[in-house]
Structure 1
Amino acid sequence: MRGYFSAGSLDLAIADQPGSDWMPAQQVIEKALKAGYTQVTKLEADDGRWEGEGIKNGQKMDFRADPRRHQPRKTRRLTLRSALRA
């Protein structure tokens, strides 16, 4: 199954401003899709990193990406409790 990105369905919230040396949001989305996400539904700059949500293995997951390492990491399944903290 090939991943997809729809600009109409993405919540691109900017909590912080990305640094000038950060990889662009579109590149983060592309990396997440290559890492197995089939859809990215939210992406924001927060606490010095990119944070996002998407669908992976049929489940809603969240991820964080180091803005300079260019790799999504720390995936976990979203639960009602973790979704409410976001």
Structure 2
Amino acid sequence: MSWSTGSGRSCSRQEEVTTALAPELGHVAWRTSSYSGGGSSGGDCVEVAALPTGTAVRDSKNPAGPALRFGDRTWAVFLAEAKRAR
């Protein structure tokens, strides 16, 4: 199974998004976008971490909570579409 984005890029079912809890990911370096602003609310944003096979994304307000894991190809398609939509 595969799906296509509006720009013609496609992802296979093998690149599904999965969830994980923080302990399952081990010690990874989480990054927050410089566009998050920080501020008094603590920066209502998401954080990303590079994994050996993909990228993890979590809610910055709940760092011990669940994270989404994206395969390399799925993450690349997501980034390309996000940049295109600007």
Q: Give TM-score scaled by structure 1 length.
A: 0.39
Larger strand percent:
1
Larger helix percent:
2
